[in-house]
Amino acid sequence: MKCPTGIAAAIVAVGLVAWGGDGALAKSHGDPGDALEEQAIAPGLTMPQMDPVRGRDLFASKGCVVCHAINGVGGEDAPALDADTMPVPMNPFEFAAKMWRGAEAMVYLQREELGEPIVLDGAELADIIAFVHDAEAQRRFSDADIPSGIRNLMHHMEEDDEHHEDDDDREEAHD
C-alpha cells in the first residue's frame, strides 16, 4: 500500500482535469503512476500537446492542402476542413475516425497526386487536428503558407484537370 493521501491527490487531480471532477475511471484504478499525474487523459494514456500554429504549417507541408481547402486555400477534391464545419466541442478522436473512414479514397488519391501516401506521427496529427478546429489560426492561412514543392504539385493537378474534362460543374475559383 502506498501513502493514501498521495493516491487521493492523484485521483482528484486526474478526475478534475479529465473528467470534470467525476473521476470514476481513476477510482477504479487503484495505483496511479507518475505518468498519470502528468498526463491527464486516462490511466496509462497520454495526450500530446496540440498546437494549431504548427498544425497550419503541417496542413500545408504534408500536402493535406492539395485536396482539402481551409479559408478558401487548397484543392477541391475533398471536403473543406474549415473550423465552422466542425462540431464544437469535438473529441479529436472523432476527427481521426473520420480520416480513417476516408482512408481508402485518401490513400488511393494520395498515391495518384502526391506519389505516395502521407505519413504522420501522433504529434503531427494532433497539431493538424488543433488547426482544423481553430478558426483564429485558420483566418491567417493563405497561399503564402504553401511550400513551393506542394504548390507546384497543385499547379500540375490543375493543368491535368483542364486537359481531362472541362464540363465539370465546379469551376476553379482560383486565379
Give the footprint of ligand HEC on this chain (CB under 6 A).
62-64, 66-68, 77-79, 95, 98-99, 102, 105-106, 109-110, 113-114, 118, 120, 128
Q: How far is the CB of 76 from ligand HEC (least distance, A)?
A: 10
Q: Can you say how many angstroms the Cα of residue 91 is from the centroid of all Cα atoms in its chain?
A: 11
CB distance 155 to 162 below 8 Å: no
Q: How far is the CB of 81 from ligand HEC (least distance, A)?
A: 6
Q: How far is the CB of 83 from ligand HEC (least distance, A)?
A: 13
Q: Which residue's CB is nearer to ligand HEC, number 37 or number 161?
A: 161
Q: Which residue's CB is nearer to ligand HEC, number 7 or number 109?
A: 109
Q: And the C-alpha cell for 153? A: 504539385
What Cα–Cα distance (Å) separates residue 97 from each residue in 38, 39, 58, 67, 127?
26, 22, 19, 18, 16
Q: Which residue's CB is nearer to ligand HEC, number 34 or number 104?
A: 104
Q: How far is the CB of 147 from ligand HEC (least distance, A)?
A: 14
Residues 6+ apart with CB under 8 A from 70: 59, 80, 81, 82, 131, 132, 138, 141
